[in-house]
Structure 1
Amino acid sequence: MKNLEKYILICLAILFTNLIFAQKNVGPIQEIPCSSYTPKPQFDKFIGHWKWTSGNDSFEMILKKEKTFNIIASDHSCVDYIIGFHQYSKNGAIIESSLQHQNTNYGAKLKSIFGVGVSPDDVLSAGVDILSNGNHVKMELEYIDANHVKIKSLNTYPGTKLYLPGQTIPSSEITLPQDIILTKQ
């Protein structure tokens, strides 16, 4: 039994090492050597600076489209993804913010929002890091019109999550506002 545990730990260590070294900071977008490129023009309507305010509470996000390596394929093909940065304030106090990183690219790994696709009914599926508690949730962002989008839902991802010894287990609480309409700034 101990040999099996050692074997599993060694395999996990090799897997995580490969994943870490496989991620490269490729620098400016223009330097990405793509074997092919699949643009996603459906992302264009979500690009911009969006803000919601209610009394002393506010939520804002900056979304941009970025050409980067396809994370699903290993053929050096490129595709567009949405990367974003957000700030949440409650009672006038900033609870969490990644807006200071808005001028970075995907390779810098400082984004707090990552969008992968848009459904036929104009809903962007994206992951959001809740910076204040370490949770990572799925966001559905609905396009309403050129000046408005709506956070339709924020949900935890289903399934089992693996945490290695010593890793902090994040809270499963969703602290960001939901069912809100944001206005383009």
Structure 2
Amino acid sequence: MKKIFLLATIIFLFVQCKAQNHIVNLTDCDSYFDRSSGDYYNKDLNNVLDKYAGTWKWTNGNREFTLTLTKQVKHHFNQYGNDDYYEDRLVGYYKYKENGLIIADTSSDDLSKDYGLNVHFILNCHSQISAIRFQDYKKYKNFDVILESLSPTQVKMNMYETEHVITINKNTGVRNPPNDPQGGSTFPMEMILTKQ
């Protein structure tokens, strides 16, 4: 009987000491979580990101902008530095055409990367869908972008120009971006997109 009790106690302690997943709501502004422990999950608890997933299109005369977004559930951030955590996020790509000709296309992006995507949105703590990164690679610029749901079939996309940083790798001398940012943007700064 003592052996059974001892075995049960050891099993109980083992289960209790095992690392637990700490789930943090994406919209919780007051939450701090350790991005290096591997046991934190920044989760879309209310499934707000779901309504933004899909293909969205804006057309105006001979111009067409298509944004395709995919919700990635529990994406594991672990490619850089001390990052080791999980997060729900929206990633995707865009295509912009004028007169039927493709002007910009990011559909070949590797959407499994942690960082460096051209299109990467999160649900911020104010319940807004905002861009971590939205790059106009033709103009060598990044934009802050907010997606606002107008209805189940329409979103408003507002883009705001951010400061531009040029870096030069001290070991290789390679400049990023390779050219100076250009004026304006390749596509409109405000669009109403319709779900396809």
Q: Give 2:76's aligned residue.
A: 69
Kept after mapping to 2: 8 A contact 1:51/1:184: yes
Q: Distance in 1 between matches of 2:104 and 2:113?
A: 22
Q: CA RMSD in A?
A: 2.9
Give TM-score scaled by structure 2 length.
0.64
Equivalent residue, structure 1, for 2:194 = 183
Distance 1:150 1:70, change over 3 A: same
Unaligned regions of 5+ residues in structure 1, if any?
1-33
**Correspondence for 1:123 among 110, 116, 128:** 128
Q: How far is 1:89 from its partner? A: 0.8
Q: What is the aligned residue count?
A: 148
Is 1:35–1:75's contact at 8 Å kept on the other side of the alignment?
no
TM-score, scaled to structure 1 = 0.67
Q: Alpha-carbon deviation of 1:70? A: 4.7
Aligned counterparts of 2:107 and 2:135: Cα–Cα separation in 1: 13
1:95-174 pair list within 5 angstroms? 95-101=103-109, 104-107=110-113, 111-118=117-124, 120=126, 123-126=128-131, 127-151=133-157, 153-158=158-163, 161-164=165-168, 165-167=173-175, 168=178, 169-174=180-185
1:80 corresponds to 2:88: yes
Shift, 1:163, TM fit: 2.2
**Maintained 8 Å contact 2:69/2:93:** yes
CA distance in 2, matches of 1:182, 1:157: 22
Distance 1:91 1:176, change over 3 A: same
Asked if 1:92 is matched to 2:100, the reply is yes
Cα separation, 1, equivalents of 2:49 and 2:112: 16
How many Å separate the matches in 1 of 2:166 and 2:61? 39
Match of 1:35 in 2: 39
- The C-alpha deviation readout for 1:88-138, integer Å capped at 9, x for no partner, is 11232211011244xx43328674211122464x53111211122221111
Identity of paired residues, percent?
A: 24
State the distance in 1 between where 2:123 and 2:77 align.
Answer: 13
Q: 1:180 to 1:142 in 2, by over 3 A?
A: same
More helix by share: 1
Distance 1:59 1:119, change over 3 A: farther
